[in-house]
Amino acid sequence: MSTEASTAAFDYASEVYEAVDSKDEQQLARFLSENCTFIYANSEPVIGRANIAEASRNFMALIAGIKHRLLDVWAVDDVIVSRLDVTYTRKDGSTLTVPAATIWRVSNGQINEYRIYVDVAPLFAQ
């Protein structure tokens, strides 16, 4: 993998996470293909850009904020893998930072498959 490819993947991932951190589901949706498959943690798959945007909106309504800190990004063929820390801000103002990993299958600049590996059980365990 070239440094150029790594830099491009890191930049792309940074843009996607900025969109997620905005809590505006339409910002995220612009990165998704029409028939994208989205799997968050151990949830059932959500299929389709509009359905993913709705699921994102519903999740974001449960928290006060979210911030991704990108640690590593690897790109191989049409796959981008990232390792990151995610800080969630709860409605009461407390925060929780957890490690996460994502795997995206990308085509023509849009994510066709979006998998998030994270344990969010502590987020709602109060």
Q: What is the DSSP letter of 48?
A: S
DSSP run (H or E) holding 26: helix 25-29
Residue 36 belongs to what domain range? 3-124
Domains in the chain, number? 1
pLDDT tens profile 48-77: 999 999 999 999 999 999 999 999 999 999
Q: Which residues of the chain have pLDDT under 70?
A: 1-5, 126
pLDDT at 3: 56
pLDDT at 4: 57
Strand partners, 105: 79, 113
Q: CA 126, CA 114: separation in Å to the nearest integer?
A: 29
Amino acid identity at 86? V
Residue 77 belongs to domain with CATH number = 3.10.450.50
pLDDT at 125: 83
pTM: 0.91
